[in-house]
Structure 1
Amino acid sequence: MRTCLTLLLAAVLCTEQARSLKCYTCTEQASNAQCLIPTDCADKYCLTTYASGGIGTKGGQRITKKCSPVCPTTNLNMGVAAISTTCCEHSLCNISGASSVKTSSVVMATGILASLTYILRIGL
């Protein structure tokens, strides 16, 4: 009996603790407040993608949060549209949106002005 208990204790001490990652998840939501659904994940990373686009008040933003086996970091800002992807490795670490990406008014105005100048020069 004593041998069985010793073997059982050794087996318990030698096993790794199961560690489950939890991430907030949502798909294409307009605000971060709608992206606070905790989900158990089998993957290694929590991923947050923030996309915005449009001109002035007609623009919009979309937030997607999910579990991911890889960490693809993206930060692309084209003035009229922008996308940012961030990832983290701790449970519920993706609570905030990747709000560091915003469309640039100066870049949009420069693009519009260059387009108008080109159109006027060719005489359309």
Structure 2
Amino acid sequence: MKTSLLVVLVALCTESAFSLRCFTCKDATFNIHCLSTTACADHEKYCVTTYSTMGYGKDRKQRITKKCSAFCPAIDLNIGIAGVASSCCETSFCNVSGASSVKTSYTMVTLGILASLACILRLGF
């Protein structure tokens, strides 16, 4: 009985230790505001980044949303004054940069990697 319980506990711990982890944010104005992380549910297999813009020139506004998802939405729509694009990936912390239309800077990539390492070290992997 004790052996069975130990096997179940090890299986549960192993599953949660290897669950997908994604950067998350909702309607952030800059990618730097998207460094929060979350452990995805078992049915969520993708990290998704959605980038939207609206307006012209100095009045142009952008929003970035990052989350875990059970599916990968294929969105790439541009109607001139507004646009939406999404990107998906399937490994932990892979959504550190923005969607394909977001310009990635080396500073942001470095900050994302450092945030990932800090999270991993904090979790004790």
TM above 0.5, yes or no, is yes
Mapped contact 1:23–1:66 kept (Cα < 8 A): yes
TM-score when normalising by structure 1: 0.67
Moved over 4 A (4+): none
The match for 1:21 is 20
Question: Which amino acid in structure 2 is aligned with residue 90 of structure 1?
Answer: T
- CA drift of 1:88 comes to 0.6
1:35 corresponding residue in structure 2? 34
Q: Structure 2: where are the runs of 5+ without partners?
A: 104-125
Distance 1:86 1:24 in 2: 13
- Corresponding residue of 1:94: 95
CA distance in 2, matches of 1:99, 1:89: 16
Larger Rg: 1
Consecutive unaligned residues of structure 1, counting only runs of 5 or more, are 1-6, 103-124
- In structure 2, how many angstroms separate the alpha carbons of the residues matched to 1:67 and 1:96? 15
Give me the identity figure in percent.
51
Q: Equivalents in 1 of 2:38, 2:100: separation in Å?
A: 22
TM-score of the aligned structures, taking structure 2 as reference length: 0.66
